[in-house]
C-alpha cells in the first residue's frame, strides 16, 4: 500500500498536476496549495479549533455543496427545458413522466434549492453570533449579505420556470411587491416582468437570470468570499471545545 502510494506521488503524472514533490515539509505542503488554481483558495494551514462541528456547524460548506448540486442538476434540467410559454409546462411534465430519473433530478434541484436558502440563512446566523462581522471581517460580512440576496433571487426566479399556477401567482405577488416600492416601483415591476403582465418575456427574463446571470454572479462572489475568509484569518468559531484550549503539540 505504502509503496504504491509512493510510486503514485513520485510519478511524472502526479508532478505534472501538483508541480511539487515533497509533501513532508511545511514548505512542500504550502507549495501544493500555492501552485494550484483550485486549491489556492484554501488556507495552507487551518486552526484545529475551527474544525470541529460546534465551530461552524459546517453551514458554509453545506451551502456551497448545495450550490454545486444545484448547478449540476440545473444543467441536467436545462437539457430538457424550453423557456417558452407553450412548451415550459409540458417539458416539466415530460421530466416527470418520460425522462429517465427526471423526477429524481427535478426533486433534487427543488429540495436543494429550499435547503440552500435555509443553509445560507443559518450560516449567517452562525456568523453573526460568532461575531465574525467585526473588524477585519466587515467586507466579507457584506459579501455574505450579497450572497444571501443572490440565493433568494435564484430561488425566486426559479419559481416561475415550471410555468404552473403556483409559479404564476407567486411571481405575481412578487412583482406586485416590487410595484409597491415608492417612486421606482412601477418601473421596477416593468423591468422585472419585461412588460406589464407575466408572459413570454417574463419567462425568458427569469430563465436567463436563473441560469446565467445569477449563478455566475454567485460563483464569482463565492470565490471572493472564500478568499477573504482566508485573508481575514480564517473562521471565527462559534463554540470551542474545552480540550482545544490546550495548544497544539506539533
| Residue position matching grid coordinates 514548505 | 27
**Least distance to other proteins from the beta carbon of 127, Å?**
26
**Least distance to other proteins from the beta carbon of 4, Å?**
15
CB-CB contact of 230 with 223 (8 Å): no
Per CB under 8 A, residues contacting other proteins are 90, 93-94, 96-98, 100-101, 103-104
**Least distance to other proteins from the beta carbon of 38, Å?**
21
**Least distance to other proteins from the beta carbon of 84, Å?**
14
Which residues does 211 contact at the CB level (< 8 Å), separation at least 6? 74, 78
Cα–Cα–Cα angle for 170, 174, 179, nearest 5°? 145
C-alpha distances in Å from residue 27, one per residue of 15, 30, 43: 16, 5, 13
Instruction: Between 94 and 244, name the residue whose CB sits nearer to other proteins.
Output: 94
Instruction: Between 96 and 201, name the residue whose CB sits nearer to other proteins.
Output: 96
Instruction: Between 96 and 176, name the residue whose CB sits nearer to other proteins.
Output: 96
Cα–Cα–Cα angle for 197, 200, 203, nearest 5°? 95
**Least distance to other proteins from the beta carbon of 231, Å?**
29
Instruction: Between 45 and 231, name the residue whose CB sits nearer to other proteins.
Output: 45
**In Å, how far from its chain's centre is CA 177?**
26
d(CA 214, CA 216): 5
Instruction: Between 34 and 90, name the residue whose CB sits nearer to other proteins.
Output: 90
Amino acid at each position: 500500500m505504502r509503496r504504491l502510494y509512493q510510486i503514485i506521488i513520485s510519478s511524472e503524472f502526479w508532478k505534472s498536476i501538483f508541480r511539487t514533490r515533497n509533501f513532508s515539509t511545511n514548505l512542500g505542503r504550502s507549495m501544493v496549495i500555492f501552485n494550484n488554481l483550485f486549491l489556492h483558495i484554501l488556507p495552507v494551514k487551518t486552526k484545529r479549533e475551527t474544525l470541529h462541528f460546534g465551530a461552524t456547524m459546517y453551514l458554509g460548506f453545506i451551502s456551497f455543496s448545495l450550490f454545486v448540486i444545484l448547478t449540476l442538476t440545473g444543467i441536467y434540467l436545462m437539457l430538457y427545458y424550453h423557456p417558452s410559454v407553450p412548451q415550459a409546462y409540458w417539458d416539466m411534465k415530460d421530466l416527470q413522466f418520460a425522462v429517465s430519473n427526471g423526477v429524481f433530478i427535478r426533486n433534487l434541484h427543488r429540495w436543494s434549492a429550499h435547503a440552500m436558502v435555509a443553509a445560507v440563512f443559518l450560516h449567517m446566523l452562525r456568523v453573526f453570533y460568532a461575531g465574525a462581522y467585526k473588524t477585519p471581517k466587515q467586507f466579507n460580512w457584506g459579501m455574505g449579505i450579497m450572497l444571501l440576496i443572490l440565493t433568494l433571487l435564484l430561488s425566486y426566479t426559479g419559481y416561475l420556470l415550471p410555468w404552473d399556477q403556483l409559479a404564476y401567482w407567486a411571481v405575481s405577488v412578487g412583482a406586485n411587491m416590487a410595484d409597491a416600492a415608492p417612486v421606482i416601483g412601477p418601473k421596477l415591476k416593468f423591468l422585472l416582468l419585461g412588460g406589464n403582465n407575466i408572459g413570454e418575456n417574463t419567462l425568458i427574463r427569469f430563465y436567463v437570470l436563473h441560469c446565467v446571470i445569477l449563478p455566475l454572479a454567485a460563483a464569482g462572489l463565492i470565490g471572493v468570499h472564500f478568499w477573504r475568509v482566508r485573508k481575514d484569518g480564517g473562521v471565527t468559531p462559534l463554540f470551542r471545545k474545552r480540550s482545544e484550549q490546550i495548544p497544539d503539540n506539533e
